[in-house]
Amino acid sequence: MKDRLITHLRHVDLAVPDFARQREFYTGLWGLSPVADDDGIVFLAAEGSPEQYIVRLRRDREKRLDLISYGARDRAAVDQLAEQLGRDDVRLVHEPRELDTAGGGYGFRFFDVDGRTVEVSSDVAERTHRKVEKGESIPVRLSHVVVNSTNVEATRSFYEKHLSFDVSDSLTLPHMGTLMHFLRCNPQHHSLAIAQGPHTALHHVSFEMRGIDEYMRGTGRLLRAGVHKVWGPGRHAAGDNTFSYFLDPHGNTVEYTTELEVLDEDIWHPSTYDVSLPDNQDQWGTANPFGEELAKESFNDVDRGCFVAPPV
C-alpha cells in the first residue's frame, strides 16, 4: 500500500448568499447536525463521523467554494507538504499554524492549479460520534467531492505530483475524450474527482449513507419534499457506488451514495469507462438517462473564489 502524507477528506466549505435557507436545507432535509454556530457561519457534522464537521456554510454576497480540506498523517506531514509545495512554487495562502476552528488542529492552505483553496491539517480533535442505526437515512460521513476544471489533465497532474493522489479510473466519451478522472488518497476508490467543464466550479459533494435501504429512504425523503433531482437513483460502474443527485437551494449538486468501492491498491489497475454505454453510467438501469441537459446542471455557476482565499 502506498505511503502518503495525505490520509483522507475532512470537509467542504461553501459560501452562500441565502444563508438561512441553505442552513435549513442541510440540517432539516439533508440530515447534517450543527455543532458550532456563529454570526453567518455554521459547522455541520455527520452523526456517524469522527470529523468535527464535514460541511461549513458561510454567508457571503456571492456563491463560491470556500475550500476543500484534507487530513494529513501528523504535524510533520503538514510541514513537509507545505515545504514541498513552496519549493515547487505553489502559492500558499498561509504557512502551517494552529487552526482557529472547530476541533482546532495544525495546518496550512494553498491554491491548486485552478485557484481553489485547499487546506491540509492534522491533530484535529475527534468529535464524539455514534453508530447510525438501521433505517436512519442520514449521512454517515463525507464520501467525496468532484470539481469542474477547464483542463482535466493539468488538474489531475497537479494532485498526482504535489499530493501523491492516484488515478483509480477514468470516464470518456468517444467524440469528447476524457470526461473525468477519479483520484484517491487512500484505499477508497476516490475522495476527489476532476470533471472536464466549461469553467472552474464545484461539480458535486457526495455523502455516504449507512446502506442501500438508508440510501433509498433518504432519496425518497428528498423526492417527497420536492427537491429537484438531477440524476438517479442508480449505481455507477466506476467506483461501484450508488447515486442520487439533487440540487441544494443555491444550485450546488449534492449526492447520496453508499458502498463506494475499497481497493486493494497493491494490485489495482485503472480502467477507462466509455459512458456512451448505458451500463457504464448506471449498472441498474433505474436512473433517468444522463444527457447534455443534465450535464449542464453539474457545470454549476462560475466559481468567483478562484485565487481569492476565503476570509475565514
Distance (Å, rounded) from C-alpha 126 to C-alpha 119? 17
Residue 17 and residue 159 in one domain = no
Residue 18 falls inside a structural domain: yes
Bridge partners (DSSP) of residue 144 are: 206
Residue 118 and residue 220 in one domain = no
Of 142, 150, 116, 115, the residue nearest 299 (C-alpha): 150
CA angle 287–292–243, rounded 5-degree value: 30
pLDDT at residue 294 is higher than 90: no
pLDDT at 293: 81
Q: What is the pLDDT of residues 95-125, one digit of tens each?
A: 999 999 989 999 999 999 999 999 999 999 9
Share of the chain above pLDDT 90, in %: 93
C-alpha cell at 179: 470526461
C-alpha cell at 21: 435557507
Backbone angles phi, psi at 223, to 5 degrees: -65, -45
C-alpha cell at 203: 461539480
pLDDT at residue 1 is higher than 70: no
Residue 84 and residue 213 in one domain = no
Residue 253 falls inside a structural domain: yes
Residue 82 and residue 152 in one domain = no
Residue 80 and residue 156 in one domain = no
pLDDT at 3: 84
Which contacts (CB < 8 Å, 24+ apart) does range 237-241 have? 237/273, 237/279, 237/280, 237/281, 237/283, 238/168, 238/169, 238/170, 238/171, 238/182, 238/189, 238/271, 238/273, 238/280, 239/168, 239/169, 239/182, 239/189, 239/190, 240/189, 240/283, 241/143, 241/189
Residue 108 and residue 205 in one domain = no
**Mean pLDDT for all residues in the chain:** 96
Residue 101 and residue 200 in one domain = no
Q: What is the pLDDT of residues 129-183, one digit of tens each?
A: 999 999 999 999 999 999 999 999 999 999 999 999 999 999 999 988 999 999 9
DSSP 251-275: S-EEEEE----B--TTT---EEEET
pLDDT at 298: 87
Count of structural domains within the chain:
2
Q: What is the pLDDT of residues 179-232, one digit of tens each?
A: 999 999 999 999 999 999 999 999 999 999 999 999 999 999 999 999 999 999
Average pLDDT rounded to a whole number, residues 274-280:
94
Its domain, for residue 253, covers 141-299
Residue 168 and residue 284 in one domain = yes
Share of the chain above pLDDT 70, in %: 100
C-alpha cell at 112: 491548486
Is the pTM above the cut of 0.95? yes
Residue 281 falls inside a structural domain: yes
